[in-house]
Structure 1
Amino acid sequence: MVSDILLIYNPKAGDANFRFSLDRFIELFSDEKHRQICVFRSTMAGDAEKYVNECDLTFVSSIFIAGGTGTVNEVVNALMKRDIHIPIGVIPAGTENEFAHKLGFVSKELEDNFQALRDMDPIPVDIGCANGQYFVDSFTSGTLNSLSKVSTDAKNTFGSMAYYVMGMTSIRNARRMKLCIETREKRYTGFFSYFAVINTNLMTVPRSSTGQFTLVASKNNSFNGDSHYFNPTYGRTGVVENGVVRLVSDYFHITQLDADEGKAATCIDGDMGPDLPLKITVERGAMEFFQNGRGRAGYNNHK
């Protein structure tokens, strides 16, 4: 494939209207420096990863993704496993677009986002890896097998993590998991309703690449009272209060000690994740993403 730009889009994502802006995208990005555009239409889960894994990316200078966090996750996994580092632009064409919002692309108008992507430079972004599966936004787990409907604000603020932890608010007697949570320096054992490992580096402006993610594990069935622990400016770690463990590290090892009573489900960037035990590591600045420096991000959006 000889192309300067690769566009991957999911025609069913969000309101399914991106296809009506496809020609406009090609017009904007091919005019500049007379670049060529190659378009891949993703029609089912897994085919974006398969395509990126198999295609020749020698002449590709940037990849743009119009879809949700799941599509971004597929592309990142393919690139990381091939050890290829091409700047990525995320077009908010999905349902909630939480990861695009963290990068500052908050406009509902595709034209605004096209212009911002064309004008901005990429920044390094940390990538997590859980048992060999990469993630850009979040890794979560709770004892529920089905996810309750969550509000738009919750999903935009906390990303795909909200699907798991907000669902617990509807069940008072959700069974807690007995977990052993370890970093390089600390070890905690206890019963928790959920845990979440989040890339909080993109939740403030300016965005940063620290090589560390934030883990929060809570005994509370209600997530509403725990949201401030994910604020990157919250300084405390360890057992902070009310049975909540908050850790910031580049390495987490998480074991479920009561798995014989039922394995906890996991969620990686909004899709089904690997089983516990988990080894989660963070690769600092492993990928580059275009950011909108004029856009707000993450936690700051909802203060």
Structure 2
Amino acid sequence: MRKFILVYNPISGDASFKFKLDNVIEAFQKKDCIIIPLRVSNEQESDTFIMLVKEIVVDGIIVSGGDGTIHSVINNMLRHEVDLPLGIIPSGTSNDFAAYLQLDKNIDTCVETITKGQRKRIDVGRVNDEYFFNVASAGLMTSVAHNADSMLKNTLGKIAYYLKGLGELPNFKALKMRIITEQQILEEDIFLFLIMNSGTVGGFPNLVPHAKIDDGKLDVLIVKKCNLPELMSLFISFLKGIHCNSRYVTCLQAETIYIECAEEVESDLDGELGPKLPLSVTILPRKISVFCS
């Protein structure tokens, strides 16, 4: 029988996964798989599963939660050089990466995907001494994920982020940043930059249509300074998927990126608080293995 550690966050999304845990274990047992559940709700607890991996031989790690929970697990895996396939059961407020991989929230479908055993090796980004699997960003909207009320997020999901972001627009100022890649140097007053592994960020699919998670490249989207009406119009363009046509948007690909800013600016990694600028970003090609359909 195969054996998996199931790392789950009891407060992710609508916090309902913990009530489905027995059904999940039963579904895996019907597929001749033993599940070892591990409850994780903070960073200290997330370290515990590494200790468990070192004590027990398992065939993979399954994560139930949102992008933040996956981010924590992947960082722990890479820091401790754990190379086990990762299964995902989307159950968070933000499930961008699962959406990009077209992973269903339905438990039975997730179990089928994981137990079938088909895998894909995907790239991972490294920022200073941390890792991200989907997106690194700074600027407008970056603080939204950290400041939006948790009850509001659980009730309204992505809408909570957008409402919070729209409220910040009138007071937000552009930041003078220097962005260096292996091919060019950009010095711009910008509102936001996104360094993406997949093309799905913040619930927006195909922000960069050609982005692939196994191409050894990072896709960078930069939103340059503009006035408030233009910024509001640009936000609508993002919703419609026509933002790449705007003169205020720059898209590029790179393997290494260095970003600095004279002001103190915090970054965001997969919806979690990241290091302050400057950032040294590199791509780690096909670094981890993920169960997918």
Q: TM-score, normalised by structure 2?
A: 0.79
Shift of 1:13: 1.4
**CA distance, structure 2, for counterparts of residue 77 and residue 124 of structure 1:** 16
**Equivalent in the alignment of 2:28:** 29
Matches within 5 A, 1:167-182: 167=165, 170-182=168-180
Aligned-partner SS, 2:285: strand
1:216 matches 2:221 = yes
User: Which runs of no fewer than 5 residues in structure 2 stay unpaired?
Assistant: 201-205
**Equivalent in the alignment of 1:270:** 271
Report the RMSD for the aligned CA atoms in angstroms: 3.4
Runs of 4+, deviation exceeding 3 Å:
143-146, 148-156, 162-166, 201-208, 220-223, 225-231
More displaced stretch, 140-149 vs 18-27: 140-149
The residue identity in structure 1 corresponding to 2:187 is T
Match of 2:134 among 128, 134, 137: 137
CA pair 226-200 structure 1, distance change in 2 beyond 3 A: farther
More displaced stretch, 66-75 vs 202-211: 202-211
**Equivalent in the alignment of 1:56:** 53
The residue identity in structure 2 corresponding to 1:192 is I
CA pair 128-26 structure 1, distance change in 2 beyond 3 A: same
Q: TM-score, normalised by structure 1?
A: 0.77
Maintained 8 Å contact 2:4/2:35: yes
1:116 matches 2:113 = yes
**CA distance, structure 1, for counterparts of residue 178 and residue 237 of structure 2:** 20
The residue identity in structure 2 corresponding to 1:7 is L
**Equivalent in the alignment of 2:259:** 254
Aligned-partner SS, 1:255: strand
Maintained 8 Å contact 2:7/2:63: yes
**CA distance, structure 1, for counterparts of residue 254 and residue 75 of structure 2:** 21
CA pair 29-23 structure 1, distance change in 2 beyond 3 A: same
1:82 matches 2:83 = no
**CA distance, structure 1, for counterparts of residue 181 and residue 41 of structure 2:** 39
The residue identity in structure 2 corresponding to 1:267 is D
1:183 matches 2:184 = no
CA pair 42-191 structure 1, distance change in 2 beyond 3 A: same
Maintained 8 Å contact 1:144/1:265: no
Aligned-partner SS, 1:55: helix
**Equivalent in the alignment of 2:292:** 291
Maintained 8 Å contact 2:27/2:108: no
Q: Provide Cα deviations, 1:240-261, integer angstroms capped at 9, x if missing partner.
A: 85243222111110010x32xx
Q: Provide Cα deviations, 1:192-249, integer angstroms capped at 9, x if missing partner.
A: 0111111126757996510111111112444525639989xx7xxxxx8524322211
Aligned-partner SS, 1:273: strand
**Equivalent in the alignment of 2:71:** 73
CA pair 168-248 structure 1, distance change in 2 beyond 3 A: farther
CA pair 25-143 structure 1, distance change in 2 beyond 3 A: closer
The residue identity in structure 2 corresponding to 1:211 is G
Q: Percent identity?
A: 25
**Equivalent in the alignment of 2:124:** 127
Maintained 8 Å contact 2:142/2:268: no
Aligned pairs, number? 272
Q: Provide Cα deviations, 1:136-159, integer angstroms capped at 9, x if missing partner.
A: 111111157852869999959xxx
